[in-house]
Amino acid sequence: MGQGFLRTAGLVVAAGAVVVVLAVLVVNRVVWRGRDVLDRRLLLEYCDIMESRYGQKWAVTNWVQRVDVQSNGDVRQRISFSIVVLCDFLDFCTFHDAINWAWPRRYQRRVKAHVRSVEVGGEGGTRFDFTSSWLDLRRLRMVVHLNQAAPRGSEVHFSVDLFWPAKCRPLMRGRGPDSFLVSFAEPVPFAQYVITLPVGERASFDRIGASQGAGEHALVSAVNASGQFEITLTVRDVPAYQKFGVRLDLA
């Protein structure tokens, strides 16, 4: 009887110790997550200071954004773009992406990103460090840190892979159309937006903004080699601060 009591008491103490350890781990996780958010905020503030004080400035010369919409509404996209440096030395550049519906905050942790240099002739393909932050529930800001400062007039080429959980869920569930938009702070000579739907899906579509002051532009659709319906908008001489893109509605 005494041994049974001691065994039970030992189990209770062990269970209590496990609970305490788990509680400490949870608290530490919350604390470190808070520190991570603070570190990101401070780093981005310092980048903003550098940009305003030392003139970190660049212009996009070429932009190709490919969006692959999954049947469950998840989105995988690759953005390939080139910039030319307009300041004495450029240490970082910034771009934004966004979502168009009341996206649950819990999905923010599941957004994944990878940034690399573009491989040309066997050279390139290495990773860039980046810092990301949420401007609000729907808008993501990414600051890409160059491996070394780029001098005035030089070009830098990036390839960004992004995974967005449920980004197009309302569209894929037939709840209404969705818009795929982009804009730039400087005029852009060439930009292209390619949207691919799951096999068996079709969509109605309209261009947005491309006819308002832009140069040559074309909007076409086709079924690609994988059997997916694909919409491509190509625009040349995109004006600064003008949104353009495609509005989709499942047929």
Using one digit for the tens of pLDDT, what is the confidence trace for 5-27? 545 555 555 445 444 444 444 44
Chain centre to alpha carbon of residue 163: 7
Write down the pLDDT at residue 177: 94
Please answer whether residues 113 and 165 qualify as being in contact, where contact means their C-beta atoms are separated by less than 8 angstroms.
Answer: no
For residue 208, the SS3 value is strand
Give yes or no for residue 45 having a pLDDT over 80: no
Q: Is the pLDDT of residue 112 over 60?
A: yes
Does 247 have pLDDT greater than 90? yes
Residue 213 CA to residue 242 CA, distance in Å, equals: 9
Q: Which residue has the tokens 């799951």?
A: 198
pLDDT at residue 175 greater than cutoff 60: yes
Specify the pLDDT at position 56.
73
pLDDT level of residue 99 (50, 70, 90 thresholds)? very high
State in Å, rounded, how far the first CA of the chain is from the last one.
74
Summarize the confidence of residues 229-248 as an average pLDDT: 93
- β-pairing, 58-69 with 188-196? parallel
Question: 31 falls in which pLDDT band (50, 70, 90)?
Answer: very low
pTM: 0.79
Alpha-carbon distance of 127 to 129, in angstroms, equals 7
User: pLDDT tens digit string along 139-173?
Assistant: 999 999 998 999 999 999 999 999 999 999 999 99
pLDDT band at 210 (very low <50, low <70, confident <90, very high): low
Rounded CA gap, 220 and 230, in Å?
Answer: 8
Count how many Cα atoms sit within 13 Å of the Cα of residue 131 in the half-sphere of its side chain: 20
Distance CA 158, CA 102 (A): 30
Give the sign of the dihedral formed by CA 47, CA 48, CA 50, CA 56.
Answer: positive
